[in-house]
Structure 1
Amino acid sequence: MPKNVVPEAARRRRKPTKGGVVLSERLIVETAMRLLQQHGREGLTVRRLGAALGADPSSLYRYFRGADDLTLAIADELIGRAVRGWEATGDWRADLRDLGLRIHSAYLAHPQAAVLTASRVSGRANEIDADEVILGVLRSAGLPDREVVRVYHAFIDQTLAFAALDAAGRALPHAARVADEAVWHATYARLPAQTHPNIAATASLLVERMNDSAYPTALEMLLDSAATTLARSAADGQHSA
């Protein structure tokens, strides 16, 4: 049976740890993210987290039911950092672009945490607030709700998929990342036109682009598609009027 998580008010009354730290859910999450950044997924253990906080590892179960509960809290913190302080401009396309780039950047700032959490659905406050904002942007554009949900689904999955993909690259050991990036110069750019005419014809462009994230381009394609859907929906509305 999972242990009961102590309400936040009760946690604040806890005495400082032997290291002089007053534990909180936020402090634990931030420390866990730092350990992920320093040691990777395998380095995040309850024992190591307790040591970093100067606390008995068992005390962490007052805040989280287990490792998976902590993972969901980290996921929620990442999305919270992305949208914290964001304000709408009233231009749905600019607003959706800004939200996508902010989410992508927030995950890339913590690649190990991103790889661990990008596929998760936490159902926590920050995630819910972000979903409410994104859906609101799409509804403000005038899309029917069925199309709102369709575009939202593609938008959030695309954003998190690219975040996970790009974060995985950043999370590689430095030598492996450098070696991967060099392949476009050392291998693809040297393939002869006689055997690989299409690669040879585009080699310089591949070298120029392929080590950068394709997310901005994919995001613009999605926005173009949403704009087309919006125009079609408006035209259908005029015809039926």
Structure 2
Amino acid sequence: MAKRVVPEADRRRRKPTKQGVVLSDRLIVETALRLLHEHGREGLTVRRLGAALGADPSTLYRYFRGTDDLTLAIADELVGRAMRGWRTTGDWRADLRELGLRIYTAYLAHPEAAVLTASRVSGRANEIAADEAVLRVLRSTGLPDPEVVRVYHAFIDQTLAFAALDAASLALPEKARAADEAVWRATYARLSPDTHPNIAATAPLLVARMNHSAYPTALDMLLDSAEAALRGA
């Protein structure tokens, strides 16, 4: 059964933990991000989190209904970090490009958290603010709302999909990631043009590109499509 979440005002009146800190939603989320970085997704447990905070694990249920509720809070924190300092300039394309790169970068700064949260919809304040901002920028172009929503959908899903894909690679053990990256040079670049003419013809280009994220390219392609729709409208 889900446990009652104590209002924020009541939480602030709690005594400091054994480590001399007063618990808050934000402190718990930041500690969870650190544990994900240090121990991976399997290491994020209520018991380990309580130990890191110097608090009884059961105390955490005064702030979150469970680990899934905490996961949604982590997702919202990553979006919030992306949004901090972002301002519109009046150039809709530049604004969306910057915001997409900010969200992508914020997630990749915490690969384990990104893999855990990129597929989730939190419905929390930062996520809602980001969605409102993207829709505001797109609607300012004069595109009809069905087209606005089509581009918005592609923009959000593409950003989070690339964040999850690239974060999963970063979250691999270093040896496994290095082995994957070496395949392009060690295998693809050595294929015979007699058996694989197209790979052989493009091998140097593949080696140069394939170990880097395609997100900036994909983002520009999406914005090109939106710009073409705007010209057509």
**Where on the TM-score scale, by shorter chain, does this alignment land: which range?**
over 0.9
How far apart are residue 27 of structure 1 and its match? 0.2
Instruction: Give a deviation string over 1:30-76, Cα, whole Å, max 9, x none.
Output: 00000001110000000000000000000000000001000000000
CA distance in 1, matches of 2:227, 2:19: 55
How far apart are residue 193 of structure 1 and its match? 0.4
CA distance in 2, matches of 1:139, 1:105: 25
CA distance in 2, matches of 1:205, 1:21: 53
Runs of 4+ in 1 over 4 A off after TM superposition: none
- Tell me what 2:84 maps to: 84
CA distance in 1, matches of 2:135, 2:83: 14
CA distance in 2, matches of 1:203, 1:62: 56
What is the percent sequence identity of the aligned residues? 82
1:150 paired with 2:117, answer no
How many residues in Structure 1 have an aligned counterpart in Structure 2?
233
How far apart are residue 145 of structure 1 and its match? 1.0
Instruction: Give a deviation string over 1:180-200, Cα, whole Å, max 9, x none.
Output: 000001000000101100000
- Tell me what 1:205 maps to: 205
1:175 paired with 2:181, answer no
Letter in 1 for 2:131: D
How far apart are residue 150 of structure 1 and its match? 0.7
Letter in 1 for 2:227: A
RMSD: 0.5
How far apart are residue 220 of structure 1 and its match? 0.5
Letter in 1 for 2:59: S
How far apart are residue 141 of structure 1 and its match? 1.2
Alignment of 1:4-153 (within 5 A): 4-153=4-153
CA distance in 1, matches of 2:146, 2:10: 43
Letter in 1 for 2:102: R
Instruction: Give a deviation string over 1:158-188, Cα, whole Å, max 9, x none.
Output: 0000000000000000000000000001000
Letter in 2 for 1:36: L
How far apart are residue 4 of structure 1 and its match? 0.9
CA distance in 1, matches of 2:38, 2:71: 16
CA distance in 2, matches of 1:202, 1:145: 41
Letter in 1 for 2:134: I
CA distance in 2, matches of 1:108, 1:141: 30
Unmatched 5+ stretches in structure 1: 234-241
CA distance in 2, matches of 1:164, 1:49: 24
How far apart are residue 84 of structure 1 and its match? 1.0
How far apart are residue 20 of structure 1 and its match? 1.1
CA distance in 1, matches of 2:120, 2:140: 27
Letter in 2 for 1:191: L
- Which segment drifts farther, 140-149 or 152-161? 140-149
